[in-house]
Structure 1
């Protein structure tokens, strides 16, 4: 079923087309003019002007529109003027047009937030950069292809939680095609990365950035910590002292082809044994949190974490899985209107696969927090 665009979206699309046609510019001419900094494809401009399925332009692109159409005459082949070069009259027209376009865009976002239909606004960012920080796999557990002197060297073999990374990376790129996005392991993170939108994948053991930021983010009343009875995972503890742990099930008959205890321990899977009894992970715990970036309050930090990798993937798929994403987005919008929250979620594991939490099921929500409720 095709969902009709909102009147607000059509209004902005029509206005952008009017601006272009008022100067007798083709979409190719406009593509050239707007590509002074970062390339804008003709197809992208067409999608912004579409009356049947308009795409939302990033805020900085609307600023470029306002700069370009500040001029009384915009000939084909022109490039984007600099704001500091505008005359007083041009600056006044620029400010007026910029306010108009941003107002139209804000109307679309307000309508989408109040009644989300099919989109995902949690990862629809106003501006970049966006950096996904993914854990680095332990050296002993890496493929030989992770070695740089291997002729078939593949950088991603250095990464842990690859399922979660691929799922989140595809979703973020689809939601923000015009913004700069990167994925890094913690050792490669720079100050520039930390000043943008951050998405942290994985727990504190393999992702030092997550561990550092969880200590900095005192606002979040959830901590992850090591315990003696888990060798490979770290449990969650809320500020009230409650602990949230994964569930294991003892295997009555061990698979004769399964690795031995010694073999498992060599590959960082010691928790699959309790004493001399093999076990199967049947439920993980996930942390899904959204907070302001402590290094830049105009940007956000999203934490997708788990005791084990199944929990990390469950946190990610809460807002990427087509089967439940729309309902989960609606739940978060209604439950946390301020957009800042922390959730601990139950992630069942069946046949080795993480099952996406449905937030409408109360049993899946182990713990919920928002700063608004703390202020009450």
Structure 2
């Protein structure tokens, strides 16, 4: 398929959704624009297969998928996008299926628009969203566990026990798990603690949440990939724990009166899985849980994820592996999503060229 055809496939699919998703019910551009909160000309530009197609941002495709996942989007004659909590399990599954399809078409369109005219569009290369795995492979999230002393006694000894309470970084896990499921509907996504792992888990696409203090697999993988960035848990030191770059520069979290976190340091790594080079290893860690959450949000928050993903593509291209050390700023208990297009957020960047470079 040449680049022009591939770049227009998304536009044609969006129009087919509007005109034929439900037999006997044709949605107008005006109805759809009202549901999505955008203008009619913008809807028309996304559906246009002539000239240079306009590719919608990912969060708009999320709204498309939610809208066309259920006829209830037109209940009482008022078009709207139902929130996830109001969707049935079947409707949520249809939303995930649609979003996965639209996301793949969007990735193809973005790559096709940069291809040379008349030449085949390359499906290989970094996807538009780093959390989209087009090969459909299984994904294993390995999450840090809290030490036994941190488990609430009441949750261990009563019938109301909730298994997820044993995990650290629950904010990050909740955010990332849903994002992975939505973007990879053909890929089973599993959550594991280190003690539950088997060989199959470690040869999938592996995502590690949390630093080496609580996640032994993060510690193990960091030793194997040999990054110039090292996480040092010097909790009793004069300035506390830090990330160290090439044994020279140290980056500490910023605290007020030793208890209020004003700024954390987070680290994102992506490279081949050492246990299976045809799959990936991703690490999201920080000195504190807020740093982990900030790194996850950098690539899931629809207000920032596209520009951050674009920065990764522009900065690292086809690198075999890369990492970015980032500030994660706070306002009270609120984590502010890092903007990697701004120099003030990026503390250190590193990449390993691919064999083809």
The two structures share one fold, judged by TM-score above 0.5: yes
CA drift at 1:234: 4.0
Which of 224, 230, 246 matches 2:253?
Answer: 246
Q: Hey, what's the Cα distance between the residues in 2 that align with 1:45 and 1:241?
A: 45
Mapped contact 1:328–1:360 kept (Cα < 8 A): yes
1:220-239 matched pairs, under 5 angstroms: 220-227=227-234, 229-230=236-237, 234-239=241-246
CA drift at 1:162: 0.3
Mapped contact 1:282–1:348 kept (Cα < 8 A): yes
Which of 142, 145, 148 matches 1:133?
Answer: 142
In the alignment, what sits opposite 1:362?
Answer: 343
CA drift at 1:231: 10
1:324 aligns with 2:304: yes
Given the two structures, how large is their TM-score scaled by the length of structure 2? 0.65
Mapped contact 2:329–2:336 kept (Cα < 8 A): yes
Which of 342, 351, 361 matches 2:332?
Answer: 351
1:191 aligns with 2:192: no
Q: Hey, what's the Cα distance between the residues in 2 that align with 1:191 and 1:112?
A: 40
Q: Hey, what's the Cα distance between the residues in 1 that align with 2:203 and 2:349?
A: 27
Mapped contact 2:110–2:128 kept (Cα < 8 A): no
1:274-285 matched pairs, under 5 angstroms: 279-285=259-265
CA drift at 1:129: 0.9
Mapped contact 1:12–1:105 kept (Cα < 8 A): no
Q: Hey, what's the Cα distance between the residues in 2 that align with 1:164 and 1:42?
A: 22
CA drift at 1:133: 0.9
Mapped contact 2:232–2:244 kept (Cα < 8 A): yes
1:305-316 matched pairs, under 5 angstroms: 305-316=285-296
1:261-280 matched pairs, under 5 angstroms: 272=258, 279-280=259-260
1:207 aligns with 2:238: no
5+ residue gaps, structure 2, are: 1-5, 16-91, 116-126
Mapped contact 2:169–2:210 kept (Cα < 8 A): yes
The RMSD of aligned alpha carbons is 3.6
Q: Secondary structure at the match of 1:281?
A: strand
Q: Secondary structure at the match of 2:270?
A: strand
1:235-258 deviation line (CA, Å, top 9, x unaligned): 2111252111111123xxxxxxxx
Aligned residues: 264
Mapped contact 1:197–1:301 kept (Cα < 8 A): yes
CA drift at 1:232: 12
In the alignment, what sits opposite 2:57?
Answer: none
Q: Secondary structure at the match of 2:344?
A: helix
In the alignment, what sits opposite 1:70?
Answer: none
Mapped contact 2:97–2:185 kept (Cα < 8 A): no
Q: Hey, what's the Cα distance between the residues in 1 that align with 2:94 and 2:283?
A: 33
- 1:374/1:234 Cα in 2 relative to 1: closer, same or farther (>3 Å)? farther
Mapped contact 2:267–2:323 kept (Cα < 8 A): yes
Larger Rg: 1
Q: Secondary structure at the match of 2:281?
A: strand
Mapped contact 1:203–1:234 kept (Cα < 8 A): no
Q: Hey, what's the Cα distance between the residues in 2 that align with 1:121 and 1:371?
A: 20
Mapped contact 1:113–1:333 kept (Cα < 8 A): no
Q: Hey, what's the Cα distance between the residues in 2 that align with 1:203 and 1:310?
A: 12
In the alignment, what sits opposite 1:372?
Answer: 353
5+ residue gaps, structure 1, are: 15-40, 58-103, 251-271, 273-278
